[in-house]
Amino acid sequence: MRPVEQILSLSVRAKPSPSTERRIVALKGSGDYRKCLQELTSAGIKPVKSSRALRLICCHADKRHRWSRLRKHPRIAYVEKDAKVSAHARFPASKKRLSLRTRQACPVKAPWNVCRVQSPPLWKRTQGSGVKVAILDTGIAPHRDLRIAGGTNAIVPGGSFADDNGHGTHVAGIAAATGRGRLYGNAPRAGLYAVKALDRKGEGYISDIVQGIDWCIANGVRVINMSFGMAGDSLALRNALKRARRRGIVLVASAGNSGRFSGGLDAPARYPETIAVAASTRGNLPAFFSSRGRGIAVAAPGVNILSTAKSGHYVRMSGTSMSAPHVTGGAALLRGYAPRLSAAGVARRLRRYALRIPGGGNAVGSGLLQVAPAAYNRSRRAGTAKNKGRC
């Protein structure tokens, strides 16, 4: 049998073409990983992406080549297509620019959705200062209500992590808007990091997501927000999440927008390493578009949520994409309040102290997110979300 590095080199191409597709190859050993990279370099082939920690190599694979020999090679862990994920925003941002200075519904205080999950009562003790939060998304645009501590571009190494879509900026505002421009997020003083892994269409390859997670691990991020998903599965993504969880990172993922007949959650929300978040309405009911299924941890507001826009103004958007950053901000507050609390401990508290939503079933998990009770260990499970948690 030929060495694995030779088989791989013969199966890939230096540039994309109509006869190629992106595929991820995972090696079993570090030595095999290094040999494959050396062989590809010798052949003039630069991998699209690679991860030394996970021994992954992503290349432009020749679809006409038979990959069965490579898949069956004893030095190969697995081979999979470099699939795409999509942002979980149900509706695009409103085209109308909204000025908070002229809207009575948005005074200088936390908006209704942040009040609803009980983040403000914890602000006298912590606002998330010192906790690094990564928004793994389309990037984050400059905004007076966002304090961006840094970031990276996982699509184009060394490129800008500015938002060219708007989704990431909106998500970031829900998680950590500072209130400097009149809008508060859940953790106003958290260290906000932009990890650009989705493009201007709100789509991204698994290999870019994996590289973004690797960056978060290397840079001491404590909470990662993932407001995207896909119907299929990916071993590369799952293994990256397992590694991040072992490093103590809280992983928050949106459930998906396929509604009551979804048949389950999107990946990565359905993986047990994540806190899967469903969407609720202002009336504390499950949002019609929110995916249902086993594995949902909690629900948070996700309908017509006002947040920061890449234009520097404010827009309303809906989707489980908007629900997830409430949990992300809440997790940052818990980590600021109890720095030694483990990732599993954060998830456990958020589930335990959620408010029950009558008739929620598998649509909302444990119920409506309640951050302050989770921090103070004050159980409110005896009540329901029908008439509580309102501003």
Q: Residue range 136-140: average pLDDT?
A: 98
pLDDT for 388:
53
Q: Residue range 147-169: average pLDDT?
A: 97
292 with 260: CB under 8 angstroms? yes
Percent of the chain with pLDDT over 70: 92
pLDDT for 387:
43
127 with 188: CB under 8 angstroms? yes
99 has a pLDDT exceeding 50: no
pLDDT in tens, 230-254: 999 999 999 999 999 999 999 999 9
pLDDT for 104:
31
Residue tagged active-site, from 321, 323, 326, 366:
321
- Give all domains of the chain, ordered by start, each with its CATH number: 4-82 (3.30.70.80), 87-376 (3.40.50.200)
Largest CA distance in the chain: 73
**Burial letters 350-368, b for 16+ CB under 10 A, else e:** bbebbbbbeebebbbbbbb
pLDDT in tens, 77-89: 999 999 999 999 9
176 conformational bin, left if phi > 0, alpha if psi -120 to 50, beta if neither = alpha
pLDDT for 166:
97
pLDDT for 358:
84
**Burial letters 369-389, b for 16+ CB under 10 A, else e:** bbbbbbbeeeebeeebbeeeb
135 has a pLDDT exceeding 80: yes
Residue tagged active-site, from 82, 137, 163, 208:
137
Binned at pLDDT 50, 70 and 90, residue 341 comes out as very high
pLDDT in tens, 101-112: 323 333 347 999
181 has a pLDDT exceeding 80: yes
Predicted TM-score of the model (pTM) = 0.93
pLDDT for 95:
42
Residue tagged active-site, from 88, 167, 170, 326:
167
325 with 331: CB under 8 angstroms? no
- Catalytic, 60? Answer no
pLDDT in tens, 352-368: 999 999 878 889 999 99
Calculate the average pLDDT of the chain. Answer: 92
CB atoms within 10 A of CB 77: 17
305 with 169: CB under 8 angstroms? no
Binned at pLDDT 50, 70 and 90, residue 91 comes out as low
- Catalytic, 199? Answer no
**Alpha carbon distances (Å) from 79 to 13, 23, 26, 32, 203:** 16, 7, 6, 15, 22
- Catalytic, 321? Answer yes
pLDDT in tens, 279-334: 999 999 999 999 999 999 999 999 999 999 999 999 999 999 999 999 999 999 99
378 has a pLDDT exceeding 80: no
